Amino acid sequence: MTASKNQHLAANPYRPWPTRITSIVDLTENEKLFELRIIDDEVRDTFRFDSGQFVEMSIFGVGEAPISISSAPSKRGFIELCVRKAGDVTGALHSKRCGDIIGIRGPFGRGFPIQEMKGHDVLLVAGGLGIAPLKSLINQIHDERHEFGKVTILYGARNPSEVLFRYQFDMWKHRDDFELILTVDEADDSWADEVGVVTKLFDKIEIDSARTYSAICGPPVMYRFVIDEMRKKGMDVDRIFVSFERRMKCGIGKCGHCGVGHQYTCIDGPVFSYWEAMNLQEAI
């Protein structure tokens, strides 16, 4: 995001903006969806982001953590963060209630190339918590559905209890203009969808590789296998986009912890085309 798109936050990227928690939804035992509203009216009105970007979420007196934005850019005035309880900062956030104040700074990084995707089919593949940043992209496509062709969503989780956003999946399943296929590694008696790793779902879909863009987000171990399946379908390397959102750290390239090859994930990513990723050391 350029300074012209968000001058207030770009003026001091170190400063977190006080933000009120307006809604909390329990998704699983370890994940919650937080809806946030920036308190400052002027900053809130000018806050803009792209699907795939992230913010630094801070708990005052505890620390901060980079979190991908889950809501669509068209949802003005609020943002959503899907947060897994995994450490001191996220644990402190999970103990918060509606009305409590936290901080955010950003947005940071490069998101998905939504303008390039318009007018084309879109294939989205997510694993586990990777559905959180893709949810922003899916909802943006939903809001601008006439701008896109066929939309296919493949999502895999370890077991039914770890499937995120079930309420939204139920809505997408009943739409004729979305193809959604869910799978889990280990099923229980309540599970009525597919069983197996997400790459097995490629046998169930047909794509026109010449007119399809794709986006992938999930555990790093799944990337190579998913990309292999996409390449078998004939997809070009410059139409496959991956998110390295798990590598994000400070957000502005100062700490150096997100370095991948000669680039910083928080500045040059977290979204890269596969062509770009192939030229980064230790990326894929």
pLDDT higher than 50, residue 22 = yes
pLDDT, tens digit (0-9, with 9 covering 90-100), for 242-283: 998 766 766 776 676 767 777 777 787 789 999 888 877 555
Judge whether 115 and 30 are in contact, CB under 8 Å.
Answer: no
Between CA 48 and CA 34 the distance in angstroms is: 18
Between CA 198 and CA 154 the distance in angstroms is: 7
Between CA 54 and CA 49 the distance in angstroms is: 8
* Amino acid 250: pLDDT: 65
Look up the pTM and report it.
0.89
What is the average per-residue pLDDT within 157-185?
89
3 by Cβ neighbours in 10 Å (0-12 / 13-18 / 19+) ranks as exposed
Percent of the chain with pLDDT over 70: 90
What is the average per-residue pLDDT within 85-103?
96
Q: What is the mean pLDDT of the chain?
A: 89
Between CA 153 and CA 185 the distance in angstroms is: 17
pLDDT, tens digit (0-9, with 9 covering 90-100), for 225-235: 999 999 999 99
Between CA 278 and CA 284 the distance in angstroms is: 7
What is the average per-residue pLDDT within 68-87?
93
Between CA 183 and CA 194 the distance in angstroms is: 4
* Amino acid 1: pLDDT: 41
* Amino acid 283: pLDDT: 52
pLDDT higher than 50, residue 3 = no
Looking at the chain, which runs of residues are DSSP E strands? 17-26, 31-38, 54-59, 63-68, 79-84, 101-108, 121-127, 151-157, 178-184, 194-195, 212-217, 240-243, 259-260, 263-264, 271-273
Sheet holding 240-243, edge to edge: 194-195, 178-184, 151-157, 121-127, 212-217, 240-243, 271-273
Higher pLDDT, 255 or 52: 52
pLDDT, tens digit (0-9, with 9 covering 90-100), for 115-167: 999 999 999 999 999 999 999 999 999 999 999 999 999 999 999 999 999 88
pLDDT higher than 50, residue 87 = yes
pLDDT, tens digit (0-9, with 9 covering 90-100), for 192-218: 999 999 999 999 999 999 999 999 999
Those residues with Cβ within 8 angstroms of residue 59's Cβ, 6 or more apart along the chain or in another chain: 89, 92, 93, 96, 102, 103
Domains in the chain, please, with CATH? 3-108 (2.40.30.10), 114-278 (3.40.50.80)
